[in-house]
Amino acid sequence: MELFDFTAFPVLNTPRLTLRQLLPSDAEAVFQIRGDYEVTKYNTGKAYATVQEASDLISAIESAYQAQNEIRWGITRKGHSLVIGMCGYNYWVRHDRRGSVGYDLARAHWGQGIMSEAVRAVVEFGFNHMGLNRIEADADARNVASTRVLEKIGFQREGLQREQFYEVGAFHDLVLFGLLKRDYLKGSL
Ligand SMILES: CC(C)(COP(=O)(O)OP(=O)(O)OC[C@H]1O[C@@H](n2cnc3c(N)ncnc32)[C@H](O)[C@@H]1OP(=O)(O)O)[C@@H](O)C(=O)NCCC(=O)NCCS
For atom 3 of ligand 1, the residue with the nearest CA is 104
Identify which of 132, 134, 128 has the alpha carbon closest to the alpha carbon of residue 2: 128
| 41 CA to centre of ligand 1 in angstroms | 13
- Sequence-distant (≥ 6) Cβ neighbours of residue 17 within 8 angstroms: 75, 76, 77, 78, 114, 117, 118, 121
- pLDDT score of 184: 93
Identify which of 144, 172, 176 has the alpha carbon closest to the alpha carbon of residue 158: 176
At the fourth CATH level, the homologous superfamily of domain 12-187 is: Gcn5-related N-acetyltransferase (GNAT) (3.40.630.30)
Which tens digit of pLDDT belongs to each residue from 93-136?
Answer: 999 999 999 999 999 999 999 999 999 999 999 999 999 999 99
| 95 CA to centre of ligand 1 in angstroms | 32
- pLDDT score of 24: 98
| 21 CA to centre of ligand 1 in angstroms | 23
Rounded Cα gap, residues 179 and 136, in angstroms: 6
Is 3:130 a contact under the CB 8 Å cutoff?
A: yes
| 111 CA to centre of ligand 1 in angstroms | 6
- Listed by start position, the domains of the chain span 12-187
Please list every protein residue whose CB sits less than 6 Å from any atom of ligand 1.
39, 42-43, 103-105, 110-116, 139, 143-146, 148-149, 152
Does pLDDT of 72 surpass 80?
Answer: yes
